Amino acid sequence: MTTNPPLASLPAVAAAAAPEGLSTCALQQLDSAHYLHPFTDHAALRERGARVIVRGDGVYLWDSEGNKIIDGMAGLWCVNAGYGRTSIADAVHAQMSTLPFYNSFFNTTNVPAVQLAALLAAVSPPQFQHVFYTSSGSEANDTIVRMVRRYWQLAGRPEREVIISRRNAYHGSTMAGASLGGMAGMHAQGSLPIPGIVHIGQPHYAEGGRGMSEAEFGLEAAGWLEAKILEVGPDKVAAFIGEPVQGAGGVIIPPSTYWPEIQRICDKYDILLVSDEVICGFGRLGTWFGCELMGFRPDLIAFAKGVTSGYVPLGGVLVGGRVAHTLIDKGGDFNHGFTYSGHPSACAAALENIRILQTELLVERVALETGPHLKACFAALVAHPLVGHAETCGLAGGLNLVRRKGASVHDCEAFASTHAVGMLCRKHMFDNGVIMRAVGDRMIVAPPLSMTVAQIDEMVERIGYCLDLTLAEVQARGWME
């Protein structure tokens, strides 16, 4: 006999026999009883109960209570083509019916993995002719740590092991991904970073650029890389990694001078340059890859999320000629890979997703139509008493909720962090049918690239309404200046 409660005595579990009939409350009970969520305070979640999302179509989601919600975050930065794409479902169904899975170890390959590799070579910058597949962005970044160190071994410089990353960067949740990331809260849980990974400051003008123009600050922040290289010793540094625009860190858009200067420094010290494009790739910024907009030529690109619009998990590393040729010509076995590397069903989803991005000109629309429209809408939101400043890049944007507005981004006064005004605002948003994410008191969006101009207007109108509700609440609590 086990000591578990008899299953039938739990009403929620009894209902599980007929999942289609589960009430929201029953689902929440089961969720709380059995499901450990990512990045979640479970004691707090139990109090509230999880929101149950049951359906998506286009840029809209529906929860189990029938509420229609406009998804300003494209799931988790990934549903670039929008929800409800039956052609992706059909492509995956057809592939699963033919060959759901086979591995790419032991000199075998499969049709979708080959086709996708060629398509990725076609849509990415010209130095990329090879891809290594994973199932997530974290695994892509773990692969990169191993690959750059392997590269330097093969190049006869095995002492080049150190990878330089940035604070407030997000590169995933595995040991190497979390180490590359610059999130103090993640490092604190589990003795991270792992050895050989060091961090410099982020190119965050509002945070660090007081007294400088944006252009000056971009050069200054890139200079931190050179200082770190000299501190570590140039002969020990393997690579620098960064997101073209930091996503989870709060849609931090670097000054235009930053990345070209990073490129110059990497060239000067012969260091590999890695672009984590898990968010910026596949059109988010109005170019296929963020490095194209920011003006740099990475040696390696990490991708995931938007490659399949999240319909099926897939990630990978685009490997530029410099690394690929060394691995191929001198490498022998690279002792690294995953059961699901080149998963045929995931690759089939990616092929159809990229076809949609291409045929509907979604990337071009972000550059020419929807991105500029979002920029204008966010600029207008700065008139709101609660909004200190707002920035966008392509279909990603952020606005800062402030206690007192200032003449420049450096003169705004923030709320006490204990007031958690961002989370309060986020709750008003969710309760009123629009999803934004809160990073501290910075509210961010990254909607599906299929969002139309009219839908952007609808989203921004709801955002404005929820900013009003948030303002009323912080005023009532006496938190406003």
Rounded to a whole number of angstroms, the minimum distance from the CB of residue 77 to ligand PLP is 6
Rounded to a whole number of angstroms, the minimum distance from the CB of residue 50 to ligand PLP is 19
Residues 224-263 binding ligand PLP (CB under 6 A) are 243, 247-248
Q: Which stretch binds ligand PLP (CB under 6 A): 119-127, 202-210, 275-283, 394-402?
A: 275-283
Tell me, rounded to whole angstroms, the distance of Cα 238 from its chain centroid.
24
Asked if 394 interacts with ligand PLP (CB under 6 A), we say no
Q: Could you tell me which residues come within 8 angstroms of residue 475 by beta carbon, excluding any fewer than 6 positions away?
A: none
> Which DSSP string corresponds to 155-221?
TT-TT--EEEEETT----SSHHHHHHS--HHHHTTTT-SPTTEEEE----HHHH-TTS-HHHHHHHH
Asked if 304 interacts with ligand PLP (CB under 6 A), we say yes
Residue nearest to ligand PLP (CB): 137
131: which strand partners?
318
Rounded to a whole number of angstroms, the minimum distance from the CB of residue 409 to ligand PLP is 24
Rounded to a whole number of angstroms, the minimum distance from the CB of residue 51 to ligand PLP is 20
Asked if 29 interacts with ligand PLP (CB under 6 A), we say no
Q: Which stretch binds ligand PLP (CB under 6 A): 95-103, 167-175, 256-264, 328-336?
A: 167-175
Q: Which stretch binds ligand PLP (CB under 6 A): 111-119, 130-138, 221-229, 379-387?
A: 130-138
CB-wise, 345 or 455, nearer to ligand PLP?
A: 345
User: Which two three-digit tokens encode residue 175?
Assistant: 């040991």
Q: What is the CA radius of gyration of the chain?
A: 23
Q: Which pairs count as long-range contacts for 58-63, CB under 8 Å and 24+ apart, including other chains?
A: 58/82, 58/83, 58/84, 58/448, 58/450, 58/455, 59/83, 59/447, 59/448, 59/450, 59/451, 59/455, 59/459, 61/435
CB-wise, 220 or 243, nearer to ligand PLP?
A: 243
Rounded distance between C-alpha atoms, residue 216 and residue 231, angstroms: 23
Grouping H, G, I as helix, E, B as strand and the rest as coil, residue 438 is strand
Size of the site for ligand PLP (CB under 6 A): 16
How many other C-beta atoms lie within 10 A of the C-beta of residue 247?
Answer: 25
CB-wise, 259 or 415, nearer to ligand PLP?
A: 259
Q: Which stretch binds ligand PLP (CB under 6 A): 136-144, 189-197, 322-330, 471-479?
A: 136-144
Q: Which helix (H) or strand (E) holds 464?
A: helix 453-476
222: amino acid identity, one letter: A
Q: Which stretch binds ligand PLP (CB under 6 A): 170-178, 325-333, 382-390, 448-456?
A: 170-178
CB-wise, 138 or 400, nearer to ligand PLP?
A: 138
Rounded distance between C-alpha atoms, residue 425 and residue 438, angstroms: 8
Asked if 276 interacts with ligand PLP (CB under 6 A), we say yes
Q: Which stretch binds ligand PLP (CB under 6 A): 132-140, 234-242, 447-455, 461-469?
A: 132-140
Asked if 456 interacts with ligand PLP (CB under 6 A), we say no
Rounded to a whole number of angstroms, the minimum distance from the CB of residue 47 to ligand PLP is 26
Rounded distance between C-alpha atoms, residue 430 and residue 68, angstroms: 10
User: Which two three-digit tokens encode residue 227?
Assistant: 């200082």
Residues 420-439 binding ligand PLP (CB under 6 A) are none
* Helix (DSSP H) and strand (DSSP E) numbers for the chain: 19, 15
Rounded to a whole number of angstroms, the minimum distance from the CB of residue 136 to ligand PLP is 3
Grouping H, G, I as helix, E, B as strand and the rest as coil, residue 311 is coil
Name which position in 160, 171, 284, 428 contacts ligand PLP (CB under 6 A). 171
Rounded distance between C-alpha atoms, residue 444 and residue 242, angstroms: 19
CB-wise, 310 or 388, nearer to ligand PLP?
A: 310
Residues making contact with ligand PLP (CB under 6 A): 77, 136-138, 141, 170-172, 243, 247-248, 276, 278-279, 304, 315
